[in-house]
Amino acid sequence: MAYDKENFRNVTIKDVAKRAEVSIATVSRILNGKDRVSPLLAERVLLATKELQYQPNDVARALKIKESRSIGLIIPDIENPFFPALVRGVQDAAKIHNYAVILCNTDGKTEEEKKYIQFLYSKRVDGIAFTESVDNKKNIALLDSLGIPVVLLDRRVEGMKASGVSTDNRLGAFMATKHLIERGKRRIAFISGLPKLSSGAERASGYQDALLSYNIQYDKKLAFIGAFTYESGYAAVENLLLSRYQFDAIFASNDIMAIGAIECLNQYGIRVPEDVAVVGFDDIRLATWYKPLLTTIRQPVYEMGQYAIKLLVEHITGERSSPHEKIFVPELMIRQSSGGLEESK
């Protein structure tokens, strides 16, 4: 057998104690550096750990001190270009605090979320960072009932006891729409995200606010419900085109839908930005590689991930007791798809 467990007898704190001729309590104390301990013994113990190549067993430790030093990260799908930066932010921050992060992809399915929550609870993670899907209440309640610290990513839930980090979606959508209006557009189509998600709903209202403040009538026929996917962006535009309803711009609730939209426009021989200006949301990396370069609203995704863990750790340690809502401010990235920086008409 290639990996014969017998060959690799785990060296435990007992072995170290024996070799250094002290008690296991002393070894533990020296290794954790909490209590005072004589330098002489410390040296002997440290030597023994080197000689035996002792590596503490974190699972025993976790059992005893009821702290696994691991956190769960629940997201819909790492293959969605929005998430890698978020995950990286989470992981980098976790590393600093010495937490392991357990990654879970749910595809936005409530049932999967529930399974993973229970799974993570079995593993006794110290906290969970959660980018939730649609049907919020139930799983949030579950989390509450388990008493695990939670921070919500990119979502907001009414009356939730947990902390959250997000971007000001409403403001972002407002900025995007305003940008289009200022470039002379008046018939601005809107592709929403999942309206059940706070991010989706907020972006929709930002869009409407902007129209309102420029005295442009909100037109239902220009509003489409998307699902944050390429396909839904494409489909929305196709429907719009088929309806033969006039429009001169599109604001899509995320970049992938914006790209789907542009692809569809191109397919029908409509030029971006000459015929129709397009703005997205998120500023994923692809936005600067896609042609035309995508004008979009930047969310500081990496920082959001980092901040989420900062918050989570504060809750875990008890340093912070009451929930906190961190809202990042979005930034308009003007690029080609909205006509770039040149003057309008």
Among 1, 3, 10, 79, binds DNA (CB under 7 A): 10
**CA 217 remoteness from chain centre:** 34
* Rounded Cα gap, residues 279 and 88, in angstroms: 26
Q: How far is the CB of 26 from DNA (least distance, A)?
A: 3
Q: Can residue 139 be called a binding residue for a copy of itself (CB under 8 A)?
A: no
What is the full DSSP assignment across 35-85? S---HHHHHHHHHHHHHHT----HHHHHHHHT---EEEEEES-TTSTTHHH
- Partner touching 36 among DNA, a copy of itself, none, CB below 5 to 8 Å by kind: DNA
> CA-to-CA distance for 64 and 68, rounded, in angstroms?
10
Strands 331-333 and 295-298, by their bridges, are: antiparallel
CA 155 – CA 164 distance, rounded (Å): 7
Q: Does 121 bind DNA (CB under 7 A)?
A: no
Rounded to the nearest whole angstrom, what is the least distance from the CB of residue 139 to a copy of itself in the complex? 15
Q: Does 137 bind a copy of itself (CB under 8 A)?
A: no
Question: Is 192 strand, coil or helix?
Answer: strand
Which of the stretches 54-62, 156-164, 182-190, 317-325 binds DNA when contact is defined by CB under 7 A?
A: 54-62
Determine if 28 is a binding residue for DNA (CB under 7 A).
yes
Task: Choose the contact partner of 307 out of DNA, a copy of itself, none; CB within 5 to 8 A by kind.
Answer: none
- Render 222-251 in DSSP notation, one character per residue: GEEE--SSHHHHHHHHHHHHHHT---SEEE
User: Judged by CB under 8 A, which stretch of 61-69, 183-191, 208-216, 270-278 contacts a copy of itself?
Assistant: 61-69
Which of the choices a copy of itself, DNA, none does residue 138 contact, using the CB cut-off of 5 to 8 A by kind? none
**Closest distance between a copy of itself and the C-beta of residue 290, in Å?**
6
Query: Which residues lie near DNA (CB under 7 A)?
Result: 10, 12-14, 21-29, 31-32, 34-38, 40-41, 54, 56-57, 60-61, 63-66
